[in-house]
Amino acid sequence: MTQEEARIKGVGASPGIAIGRAYLIDRRKVKTPKRHITASEVEGEQRRFDDALRRSHEQLERVKQKLAERASGDDPFQILEAHQLILRDEHLVEPTLRSIAEEHVNAEWALRKTVEHIKGIFDSVDDQYFRERRSDVDFVGDRVLRNLLGMEQPLAPPPDAIVVAHELSPADIAQLQRAAIAGFLTDVGGKTSHTAILARAVELPAVVGLEDITHRVGNGDLIIIDGTEGEAILHPSAPLVAQYRGRARQHAAREEEQLKTRDLESITRDGHRVRLMANVELNEEVPSALEHGAEGVGLYRTEFLFLGRTSIPTEEDHYQLARRVLDLVGHRPVTFRTFDLGGEKAAAALGQHAPREANPALGLRSVRLCLRERGLFKAQLRGLLRASVHGEVKIMFPMISGVGELREVLAVLDEVKRDLSIEGVAFRPDVPVGIMIEMPSAAMTADLLAPHVSFFAVGTNDLIQYSLAIDRVNEHVGYLYEPLHPAILRQLRFVVQSAHAAGVPVCVCGEMAGEALFLPVLLGLGVDELSMNSLAIPVVKAAIRAADYLASCELAAHVVDLPTASDVESAVRAARD
């Protein structure tokens, strides 16, 4: 009997189309044994734990090395390095050893108790992005536990399989990519999980958050993955398979054609130049960004160093991160945004010092947190300045509200520079320093802020939300998230005019930058640089090369006087057609 075709909606974690046969992987939690030990057994049990940590570290190192070989010498996956850091983290190791010694329990049970405690800290975080970091601790704990129990098993799906699992770790994805699978589906997960990020980095189509996909699929079932739409199609008909194979070929041909523009200039038909940069969160994304034509990194989100760890990153951590990025990009510039962390996001690292706030989005976050936690802030600035001698480093401060706050931040930077000079540590004293314009207060005082910085970067995501007083992920008010709202366009116009009057270039690095529909307006407003997801770069470059700058200026001058976002969009679409 033919099984009925079914479409299941999930979260598109990584774009692309994949067609293949299901291969189920059981990654359910291993049952943790509990037994009491005698005082004479404590030392031996602690050695067992140390040995399991060592084996776990070696396993991850082997995965990294194999991936490095496959990637022609590029840096091994940074997410796996983060998991290795967790293996050495004192908040994982010391409580486990202490439980073995003081409670006289076996290593497996002591480890479980520690992992559950750390996960509880992450669970208290309100932000979904950082809540998903709990899975990293879970993955590491599971690997150590399997080594304690002698259960570590390699993943060996056939090539072109569609892997289906309840949950997959980043290490799993790394191994599965080497096995040349077509894509994967999971019951749980989100777009910002490390597993999803790594899937995008290796361009592996994936849909997550499917809830019960492991119960609905059997080994060998035919499946279509549409990672762009976030959809899994079970038991597709032959005509539907043919249709999706055609889409996959069209996508591949379109991608191949777009990649031919990689080395072409992003310049309009009448000779206006706009630089195209990539927004990057992990080093693994850099090779893909360069392949898609990025001229550098316009926004490097340094929050990664906080993820999956329970201790504050050190100066050396910041230095090594920056060095790796600079090595990957070569002569191209990299703009490092200092920590854009809310108090709730930093809870795992700041522990009891982390604030508990009713509205953290408007509370102690970003530079406000950095100015309170000066040691954390200075460690990052020292690391970035030390790395500046190795490439084109630019430093950017987020969530600046006005000149007073900017002066305070620049004073800290000057203090760090003086300290490094006294210590005889090499750095570039003329490192370009810029700010994010993402608050209405900053946008409306752009003329006062511009003389103090080397560049502006407009974070349109937050600027829109703060200006229109809406949460774009709230289904009740999401319809009010309007990038073409006259209030947004008028703020952008004033920011660009103020910056250019002071000789300061402007970059747009929010979601608006990667939408070809918005390009004529941004061009016409005079934006100098656009930074976006690397996959959007070829599309935006093609739009720039087909655009006319003078016509865009006329369009922008017209639409800023229109009364509604829908009126603006209609005018933009009419001009495009």
Alpha helices in 303-445 (DSSP H): 315-329, 347-350, 367-372, 374-387, 403-423, 440-443
The rounded distance, in Å, linking the Cα atoms of 513 and 298 is 11
Say yes or no to pLDDT of 73 above 50. no
Q: How confident is the model at residue 116 (pLDDT cuts 50, 70, 90)?
A: confident
Provide CATH code, domain 39-148.
Answer: 1.10.274.10
Instruction: Please state the rounded mean pLDDT for residues 320-341.
Output: 92
Q: What pTM does this model have?
A: 0.69
The rounded distance, in Å, linking the Cα atoms of 135 and 173 is 14
Q: Collapsing DSSP states into helix, strand and coil, what is residue 61?
A: helix
Which of the residue ranges 58-67, 395-404, 511-520 would you say has the lowest mean pLDDT?
58-67
Instruction: Please state the rounded mean pLDDT for residues 238-264.
Output: 86
- SS3 readout for 195-212: HHHHHHHCCCCEEECCCC
Q: Tell me what the pLDDT averaged over the chain comes to.
A: 85
- What pLDDT, on the 0 to 100 scale, is given for residue 74? 40
Q: How confident is the model at residue 531 (pLDDT cuts 50, 70, 90)?
A: very high
Element (H, E) at 185: strand 183-186
Say yes or no to pLDDT of 525 above 90. yes
Instruction: Give the tens place of pLDDT for each residue, 344-398.
Output: 444 444 544 555 655 656 766 778 888 888 888 999 999 999 999 999 999 999 9
| Percent of the chain residues topping a pLDDT of 70 | 85
Q: Are 301 and 219 in contact (CB under 8 A)?
A: no
Q: How confident is the model at residue 92 (pLDDT cuts 50, 70, 90)?
A: confident
Q: Are 540 and 268 in contact (CB under 8 A)?
A: no
Instruction: Please state the rounded mean pLDDT for residues 413-430.
Output: 97
Alpha helices in 439-548 (DSSP H): 440-443, 446-449, 460-468, 486-501, 519-525, 537-546
- What pLDDT, on the 0 to 100 scale, is given for residue 280? 87
Alpha carbon of residue 404 to chain centroid: 30
- What pLDDT, on the 0 to 100 scale, is given for residue 418? 97
The more confident residue out of 516 and 284 is 516
> In terms of C-beta density within 10 A (0-12 exposed, 13-18 middle, 19 or more buried), how is residue 312 classed?
middle
Say yes or no to pLDDT of 225 above 90. yes
- What pLDDT, on the 0 to 100 scale, is given for residue 364? 67
Q: How confident is the model at residue 128 (pLDDT cuts 50, 70, 90)?
A: low
- What pLDDT, on the 0 to 100 scale, is given for residue 1? 42
The more confident residue out of 543 and 142 is 543
Q: Are 298 and 531 in contact (CB under 8 A)?
A: yes
Identify the residue whose tokens are 């049952």.
31
The third-level CATH classification (topology) of the domain covering 6-28+154-237 is Glucose Oxidase; domain 1 (3.50.30)
Query: How many CA atoms, within 13 angstroms, populate the side-chain half-sphere of residue 507?
Result: 25
Instruction: Give the tens place of pLDDT for each residue, 291-305.
Output: 889 999 999 988 777
Say yes or no to pLDDT of 75 above 50. no
Instruction: Please state the rounded mean pLDDT for residues 88-105.
Output: 89
Most confident of 67-76, 217-226, 383-392: 383-392
Say yes or no to pLDDT of 245 above 50. yes
Q: How confident is the model at residue 132 (pLDDT cuts 50, 70, 90)?
A: low
Instruction: Please state the rounded mean pLDDT for residues 532-541.
Output: 88
Instruction: Please state the rounded mean pLDDT for residues 513-518.
Output: 90
Say yes or no to pLDDT of 343 above 50. no
Say yes or no to pLDDT of 199 above 90. no
- What pLDDT, on the 0 to 100 scale, is given for residue 506? 98
Instruction: Give the tens place of pLDDT for each residue, 546-564.
Output: 999 999 999 999 999 999 9
Say yes or no to pLDDT of 64 above 80. no
Q: Would you list the domain boundaries of the chain? A: 6-28+154-237, 39-148, 275-431
Instruction: Give the tens place of pLDDT for each residue, 444-474.
Output: 999 999 999 999 999 998 899 889 987 655 5
- What pLDDT, on the 0 to 100 scale, is given for residue 127? 53
Provide CATH code, domain 275-431.
Answer: 3.20.20.60
The more confident residue out of 484 and 127 is 484
The closest alpha carbon to 159, from 183, 185, 180, belongs to 180
The more confident residue out of 174 and 234 is 234
Q: How confident is the model at residue 307 (pLDDT cuts 50, 70, 90)?
A: low
- What pLDDT, on the 0 to 100 scale, is given for residue 347? 47
Instruction: Please state the rounded mean pLDDT for residues 267-291.
Output: 90
Active site residues: 194, 509
